[in-house]
Amino acid sequence: MTKQIAGIVVIILLLAYSTTLILHISAHDDQYLWDFRTHREAGKILASGLNPYDADTLFPKAGTTFLYTYPPATLFFYRLLAIPQYKTAFHIFLIAKFILLVGLVYFWQREFLKEDGNILFYVFCLLAFNSTVFLDMIAGNINLVQQAMLWLAFSFYIKRRYKLFCLFTLIAASFKMTPIFFLILMLLPDDKNKYKYFFGAGAVVLAYLLIQYLIVPQLFIGFIKNALIVVGEKGEVVPSTNKLIAYIFEIFSKITGMMIPHAFQSAIFILIAAMVVFISFKAWRRLKCTGIDNRAMLEVFLVCLVYALIHPRFKDYGYVLLLVPSFYIIKNIHYSKIAPFLFILFVMSNRMMLPIVSSLYDIIWAYFPLMVAYCVWGIYLYEIFSPEGVSNFGKEAKIGILRFP
């Protein structure tokens, strides 16, 4: 009875917080959803016959300094949202994102966590990775739509419906091209047609890009230029391995006065990325030899972690991708005594506003999601290479403190 009451209280608090957040964002449409404002304005610029990839055209109209970095075909989506007045479009997009988020959390529980899902998962989604869900909601990015398509694709991959997996992965990559990376999953199953699906999906991607280049070459070239610019730019909201390396060398240069060549920084990032891929590949081979029933789901989680760690510009709201893999490992780690500690660690956030101010403190909180991601990746590797750990995957967790109904 106590657990049921606690669960009800948690749900009421979460609903109250969500309602307050939506109302607050709605009342400040000039401060939030800056990505949506930029992208919608790009659609309006296209409708007027101008080039939305031109910063001199976009920045004054959008009132932001964010470039449009999606392929030209995606402009027609935002052109539709440019038809109603801004406030109307703002609220349509905000409410649609909230509904999509609720549906996505339900889908995660039903298709991936199952008996491992509980009330604490809602709390985890709200706070984990420096409140990545909150950051996604206020940014107004298309990220949640992409996440929904990706997780639909992952569910089809687990069910061995590979054509649908490829289809939804391609849809997810239609805005931000980097999710094409997940087609690598098609190389992992024991299916005789896997190479046909892999190369077929790759051909569709090339056709998608080539057609746009042939029809609107100027816009396509603008898309490529803007994409390359944002990959190389500095960013406090990009807690990725690549940006962390750049930040460390920047501090080193300020202290010593020595300038480190950018090529050297890139070489270190490539070395780390190669190490992550190689070790993860060894873990997958180990996983394949175990013959456990939920191997496909663990493959998905492992590839999600690799993607986050090697993505050169993995944004703060992108860590929504790691919510399910992280909560799953907490619930299924075979050394269950540390599970409560991991839960607390993963939901820590700089929004706790601890009264400490220092450069080290700023670095830790700026890149805290990345540190947690490496921690989750390390635990997965340990569990996979450990006989006790890999045999525990897929079994009912024995974590009493995390057993809300």
Structure confidence at residue 146 (pLDDT): 96
Q: Where residue 322 falls among pLDDT bands split at 50, 70, 90? A: very high
Q: Where residue 337 falls among pLDDT bands split at 50, 70, 90? A: confident
Q: Where residue 393 falls among pLDDT bands split at 50, 70, 90? A: low
What value does the mean pLDDT take over residues 245-258?
A: 86
**Which DSSP string corresponds to 171-188?**
HHTTTSSGGGGGGGGGGS
Whole-Å CA distances, 56 to 30, 144, 220, 400? 21, 29, 17, 58
Q: Where residue 351 falls among pLDDT bands split at 50, 70, 90? A: low
- What share of the chain in percent tops pLDDT 70? 90
* CB distance 108 to 4 below 8 Å: no
pLDDT in tens, 92-144: 999 999 999 999 999 999 999 988 778 889 999 999 999 999 999 999 999 99
Q: Which residues contact 27 (CB under 8 A, 6 or more apart)?
A: none
The one-letter code for the residue type at 115 is E
Residue 391 reports pLDDT greater than 70? no
Residue 358 reports pLDDT greater than 70? no
What value does the mean pLDDT take over residues 268-289?
A: 95
Angle at the Cα of 212 (from 211 to 213), degrees rounded to 5? Answer: 90
Structure confidence at residue 237 (pLDDT): 83
pLDDT in tens, 172-209: 999 999 999 999 999 999 899 999 999 999 999 999 99
Structure confidence at residue 377 (pLDDT): 95
Whole-Å CA distances, 70 to 147, 221, 223, 227? 16, 11, 6, 8
Structure confidence at residue 1 (pLDDT): 64
170/156 Cα distance (integer angstroms): 13
Which is more confidently placed, 291 or 221? 221
Average pLDDT, the chain: 88
Structure confidence at residue 68 (pLDDT): 95
75/175 Cα distance (integer angstroms): 9
Structure confidence at residue 119 (pLDDT): 85
Structure confidence at residue 350 (pLDDT): 60
Structure confidence at residue 386 (pLDDT): 81
Q: Which residues contact 3 (CB under 8 A, 6 or more apart)?
A: 403, 404, 405
pLDDT in tens, 51-95: 999 999 999 988 888 899 999 999 999 999 999 999 999 999 999
Structure confidence at residue 250 (pLDDT): 86
pLDDT in tens, 20-58: 989 999 998 888 999 999 999 999 999 999 999 999 999
Which is more confidently placed, 235 or 363? 363
Q: Token pair for residue 40?
A: 């919608």
